[in-house]
Amino acid sequence: MPELAGDRVSSMAEYEDRYWTSRDGLRLHCRDYPGGGDRPPLICLPGLTRNARDFEELASRLAGQFRVLCVELRGRGESEYAKEASTYSPVQYVDDVTALLEDTGIDRFIAIGTSLGGLMTMLIAMTTPERLAGAIINDAGPVLEVEGLERIKSYVGQGRTFPTWVHAARAIEQSQGVAFPGYALPDWIEMAKRLMVVSGNGRIVFDYDMKIAEPFADFDPEAQADLWPGVAGLSGKPVLVVRGEISDILSEQTTKEMQARDPEIEVVTVADTGHAPTLSEPEAAEAIDRFLAKFG
């Protein structure tokens, strides 16, 4: 992990830094927000280059009502970098989360998965559906659009550094502006501070191991694994799918097919937003509150 200078973005609610060990010996990190009583905890699973800060606003809003654990996958944030780049894979990430469940004694939980985290949620539904009390899947599905995957491939793992937060924000705007056409500079700076940290030499760097790009670079978008059994594994459970209206990862066609296979799936579309919604948009926040009200 890069040496950090200064504090990370502080949370709006109190949380405990929790660490656990993967089966191959990595020290992994999550933020643990207390609360919830008898309600199943929420486990937030981030996107490919993201970390616990991505769920900061959501977790702060829901803390107290629910216990919220915001996971940092291996190679991200305060989690240790993998010794072998080949272990940067969805199957390994699910195994790491399983180790967290065992460490915390959590039997059932509600998954909130953004992008890669949504794929992880479907993998869990395929293998151990009994662990899931429900799921919120944010802009991911059993079919991912090739155009979006190629766009992500074009910028992941470049290892660029920046002298100021404005420079960092402008760089992110270049790669992700298509997803957030309404963003102004303050919005891009806020996103930069979720994605990046200040390194020991004063430069602003991405908060992930550049080697996460290696397995992804070898991934063939035209030969995707069949994740439809993951949708089937969620049958009978409350499921909310959040989709960006202009997403280049989750198509409207795939979303409709998910609902055709399971009519109980609720879908909310975030207007003028691509991949992936932040979950703080009013329509997303309202849908999440309605969804979670099902759990008492």
Residue 98 lies in a domain: yes
Measure the CA–CA gap between 42 and 95, rounded to whole angstroms: 18
pLDDT at position 9 over 50: no
Structural domain span for residue 252: 16-144+224-295
| Confidence category of residue 217, pLDDT binned at 50, 70, 90 | confident
Measure the CA–CA gap between 142 and 109, rounded to whole angstroms: 21
Strand 196-198 vs strand 109-114: parallel, antiparallel, or unpaired?
unpaired
Residue 237 lies in a domain: yes
Residue 178 lies in a domain: no
Length reported for the chain: 296
- Do 130 and 233 contact (CB within 8 A), yes or no? no
Query: What is the domain count for the chain?
Result: 1
* Average pLDDT, integer, range 255-281: 97
Residue 149 lies in a domain: no
Can you give the pLDDT at residue 132? Answer: 98
| Confidence category of residue 3, pLDDT binned at 50, 70, 90 | very low
| Confidence category of residue 172, pLDDT binned at 50, 70, 90 | very high
Residue 207 lies in a domain: no
Q: Is the pTM of this model over 0.85?
A: yes
Can you give the pLDDT at residue 180? Answer: 97
Residue 73 lies in a domain: yes
* Average pLDDT, integer, range 227-250: 97
Residue 163 lies in a domain: no
* Average pLDDT, integer, range 172-178: 94
Q: Residue 239 maps to which CATH number?
A: 3.40.50.1820
Residue 255 lies in a domain: yes
Note the pLDDT tens digit of each residue in 40-77: 999 999 999 999 999 999 999 999 999 999 999 999 99
C-alpha torsion sign, points 164, 276, 54, 90: negative
